[in-house]
Amino acid sequence: MSDLFTALKNKLSGQQVKIVFPEGLDERILAAAGRLAQEKLLTPVIIGHNEEVYQKASQLQVELEGAEIVDPASDGRLDELVQSFVERRKGKATEEEARNILMDENYFGTMLVYKGYAEGLVSGAAHSTADTVRPALQIIKTKQGVQKTSGVFIMVRGEEKYVFADCAINIAPDSNDLAEIAIESAKTAEMFDIEPRIAMLSFSTKGSAKSPETEKVAEALRIAKERAPGLAIDGEFQFDAAFVPAVAKKKAPDSIIQGDANVFIFPGLEAGNIGYKIAQRLGNFEAVGPILQGLNAPVNDLSRGCSEEDVYKLALITAAQSLK
C-alpha cells in the first residue's frame, strides 16, 4: 500500500493541485487537510466560516498554513458562480434560487471545481453519497461519450493491485453501461500503474450457460471491443477462469486473458459490492475507494465512518485523477 501512495505523491510533486473539502468543521477533514498542506502535496481548499474553521483547527492542534479557507457567504466570486450555475442548469434555477443553493457547501465547492478554481473535491464524511454526487452530476457532468459515472475500488494486498468495478453506483447496468465501465476502469487502472487486463465477469465462462444475464455480459464485451479495440479484454468469465491460469487453460484456452486479469467488471452492483467486501474481509485486501470515474473533473465520496487516513488517501487519489 505504501508503494501505491508513494507513486501518487511522486506524480503530484510540484503540480500545485487544489482539492476542495466542503466539510470544513469535521475533525477528520481538518486533520487530513492540515497534513496535506504541511507536506505540500496539494493545496486544501476548506469550505467554512474563517473564524470557526481556525478555532476548530486550534482545538485539534492542526496547522492550516498553506490551506485556503473559503466562506461561501462572503466570497468575492459568489456573483460569478451564481451566474454560471444559472447558465449551467439551463433555466432550472433562478438567480435567487441559485444564490440559496450555493450556500450549500457541496454545491459551492463543486462550482469552484467547475470554474477551474480547484481541480477536484472530496466530501462525504458528514454527508450522504447523494449529497456529494448530485451536485457533481448536475454541474460537472460526465465526460463526452460517457453516459454514467461509476465507482471502482483498488484492491491492494502487498504487491498485488486489482481494480473492481462497479461496486458503488450503478445497481443494474445494461450492456452499454458495462462496456463503458470497463473502458473507464482501464483508464483508472493506468493511473495506478496497472496495465489493464480486463475480465467481464458472470456465472458463465464463454457460453457455458445461456441466459439474459450472460448474454448481457457477452454483448457488453462486444461493445467494449468495438469502442476501444486496443484493450486487453475478454469474457464472459467466471472469476476462477479470469484469475487462475490452470482454470483458464481448461475453460477458455483461446482467450487473451489466461488467468492474469487485473481489472474485474462485475455484472451488477450486488455482485460487485459483495465481491469487494469478501476480498477485503476474507482475503485481507485493503479496499481503496470508492473512486468515481467518468466525470469531467474528479469528485469523490467518503464513507461517513471514514478515518483521517481515509480522507488523506482519497484526497491524494482525487488530485492524481485531475492530472492529464
pLDDT of residue 106: 96
Whether 5 shows a pLDDT value over 90: the answer reads: no
Task: Give the model's confidence band at 195: pLDDT under 50 very low, under 70 low, under 90 confident, else very high.
Answer: very high
Helix, strand, coil fractions of the chain, as percent rounded to 5: 45, 20, 35
pLDDT of residue 7: 85
pLDDT of residue 14: 84
Residues in the chain: 324
Q: Given the C-alpha cell 473507464, which residue does it identify?
A: 184
Residue type, 272: G
Secondary structure element (H or E) that encloses residue 190, with its range = helix 175-191
The CA-based angle 20-35-50, given to 5 degrees, is: 50
Q: Which range is least confidently modeled, 96-100, 129-133, 157-161, 314-318?
A: 129-133
Residue 186 near residue 263 (C-beta atoms within 8 A):
yes
Whether 145 shows a pLDDT value over 90: the answer reads: no
Q: Tell me: the pLDDT tens digits for 7-56?
A: 889 889 888 899 999 999 999 999 999 999 999 989 999 999 999 999 99
28/34 Cα distance (integer angstroms): 10
